[in-house]
Each structure stands twice: as C-alpha cells, then as structure tokens.
Amino acid sequence: MSVLAVDTLCKSFGGVHAVDHVSFAVGESEFLALIGPNGAGKSTCFNMINGQLPPDSGKILLDGQDVTGLTPRQIWRRGVGRTFQIAATFGSMTVAENVQMALLSHAGQIFALWRPAASYYRERALELLAQVGMADAADRPCHELAYGDVKRVELAIALANEPRLLLMDEPTAGMAPGERNKLIALVKELVVKRRMSVLFTEHSMDVVFAFADRIIVLARGKLIADGDAAAIRKNPQVQEVYFGTGRTFERRGAAAT
Ligand SMILES: Nc1ncnc2c1ncn2[C@@H]1O[C@H](COP(=O)(O)OP(=O)(O)OP(=O)(O)O)[C@@H](O)[C@H]1O
C-alpha cells in the first residue's frame, strides 16, 4: 500500500486552478520529486498534504486512511514530517538543544518543561545528529553554523518526529551546487536506511535527475508526467513547459547544461 495517496485533488484561488485534479502516490522508502515551473502548484499541493490548506475537492490518504481536512498537527502526529527553517529565536540555542526541543515536542511535552530539558533526550539528539553528520557540532550555537550545516540540523529536527513521510519544500534553496548535492545525497541515504518516504520539490534539475527515484511534473496545476529520470528527460510536454524558463533542461537531444 502507498504511504501517501493523493486522489483528484483540486484547489482554486479566485479563477486560478492552482491544483487541478491531481492524483499520485508515494511508495514506502521512495524518494519522489515534485517539479514544475514557477506557479505550477507545487507549494499548494504541499500545503494541502500537510494540512495547512483545505482542498476544494479530492482526497488525501495516509497508509490508506483518509486524512483530508485534518489539522497540520494531526497530520504531523500521523507521521508526516516537514523541514522547517530554524527560527531566528532558536539560533542562540545549541544544535543539540534544538533537536532536544523537537524530541520533547514529539513526546508531547509542553514548553514549560523546557527548563530541565537540557538533560532530556541528549543521547537521542546526539544519535540523530550523528545520522546527519553533525554530532561534532552538538554544543555550538546554531547561529554560528554555515548555511549547509543549518540545513542538516533542520533535517535532524524533522527526524525527531520519526516521520514515515517527510515533505521537503525546496530543501536546497539558497545553497551552492556542491552543497545541494551533498544534502540531497544525505536525504537519499536516510530514505534507504530508515525506510522513510520523501516527497520533495527542487528547482535544480541536476539534483532531481541524479537522486530522485521517480519524478512527477506539474504545469499550471495539472500533472503532466510521472516517471523516472530517463522518461521525464525525453517527455516532450515536460521539455515544452521548461523551455525558456532558464532552468537547466535537456531539449531535443541537446546536451544537458
Ligand atoms: N494564497 C493564494 N492566493 C491566491 N493565489 C494563490 C495563492 N497561493 C497560490 N496561488 C496561485 O496558485 C498558483 C500556484 O502557486 P504555487 O505557489 O502553488 O506554485 P509553485 O509551483 O509552488 O510555484 P513556485 O515554484 O514559484 O513556488 C499560482 O498561480 C499562484 O499565484
């Protein structure tokens, strides 16, 4: 059974069909990329899946159960994680403390208990940090970290909820190409090791083609393609929507840039 199934999902804003009868599924331990040019409906899709936006119609199923219309917290409780940027106010806390906070939240403990929490979950936080290659930075304040390292900590924070499905909306935005590849390679490793499913959006075609197990393409709210990198590369409709957008994409047999 699919971890996530989206069935004829629709959302309009005024006259704009932001998401128009979109259906797709994410399998267990699958690394699925959702791509499309600007305004294609990717964020709207994400926001419906994570409960921030109610769909106009259609269904969202998690492990076969209908979760359409549940709140973001209820959906998070069912094992759907997402990466959040570490809030500026948490920048003065250490890397380990940020992960400990997420562990406390996962355990359902309230913020008032934070004071003695310095000792709670430290070991577990260090384990999660080791999984993202950040154990050595555990006691550094987050605001001192390089951008790519902050992204790794954000990933450790998302893992604290032990997600079955992780939603990552442009996880590599603002990163240099080398860093991007490293972060996505790490996520892919976690997909395999933890048997976690990931749905991500990404503007870099190089990253998508190199790492995604499968790619789905939205254009003007409609799903126009679903397949592996080779199939998506040679899909004429996909080439058409990307042509002229400035994104790197192979067209009619030309070498990829
Ligand atoms: N809250 C909103 N109110 C009105 N229109 C909206 C709203 N959110 C999205 N839209 C419109 O819906 C369409 C899809 O937007 P969406 O942000 O989902 O696309 P996207 O693929 O995520 O784009 P980008 O890659 O630029 O982030 C666009 O035409 C956008 O202007």
Task: Point out the least confidently predicted range of 47-56, 113-122, 182-191.
Answer: 113-122
The reply to whether ligand 1 has any atom less than 6 angstroms from the CB of 18 is yes
For residues 9-22, one letter each, b for 16 or more C-beta atoms within 10 angstroms of the residue's C-beta and e for the rest, the string is bbbeeeeebbbbeb
pLDDT of residue 254: 44
The reply to whether ligand 1 has any atom less than 6 angstroms from the CB of 47 is no
The reply to whether ligand 1 has any atom less than 6 angstroms from the CB of 43 is yes
H helix runs in the chain, sequence order: 42-49, 72-77, 95-106, 122-131, 147-159, 177-194, 205-211, 229-233, 236-242
Question: How far, in Å, from the CA of 18 to the mean position of ligand 1?
Answer: 6
pLDDT at 53 over 60: yes
Q: Which of 43, 49, 223 to mutate to test the pocket of ligand 1 (most atoms within 8 A of CB)?
A: 43
pTM of the model: 0.89
* CA 91 – CA 82 distance, rounded (Å): 19
Burial of 187 (0-12, 13-18, 19+ CB in 10 A): buried
Q: Are 55 and 68 in contact (CB under 8 A)?
A: yes
**ipTM of this predicted structure:** 0.97
Of the pLDDT bands very low, low, confident and very high (cuts 50, 70, 90), residue 118 is: low
Q: Whose CA is nearest to atom 23 of ligand 1?
A: 39
The reply to whether ligand 1 has any atom less than 6 angstroms from the CB of 16 is yes
Radius of gyration of the chain (CA): 19
The reply to whether ligand 1 has any atom less than 6 angstroms from the CB of 41 is yes
CA 223 to chain centroid: 19
The reply to whether ligand 1 has any atom less than 6 angstroms from the CB of 37 is no
Task: Dump pLDDT digits (tens) for 217-250.
Answer: 999 999 999 999 999 999 999 999 886 665 555 5
Q: Whose CA is nearest to atom 30 of ligand 1?
A: 39
pLDDT of residue 255: 40
Task: Point out the least confidently predicted range of 40-44, 80-84, 239-243, 250-254.
Answer: 250-254
Question: How far, in Å, from the CA of 44 to the mean position of ligand 1?
Answer: 6
The reply to whether ligand 1 has any atom less than 6 angstroms from the CB of 38 is yes
Q: Are 9 and 48 in contact (CB under 8 A)?
A: yes
Q: Are 172 and 204 in contact (CB under 8 A)?
A: yes
Of the pLDDT bands very low, low, confident and very high (cuts 50, 70, 90), residue 253 is: very low
The reply to whether ligand 1 has any atom less than 6 angstroms from the CB of 39 is yes
CA dist 133 → 29, 85, 242 (Å): 21, 18, 35
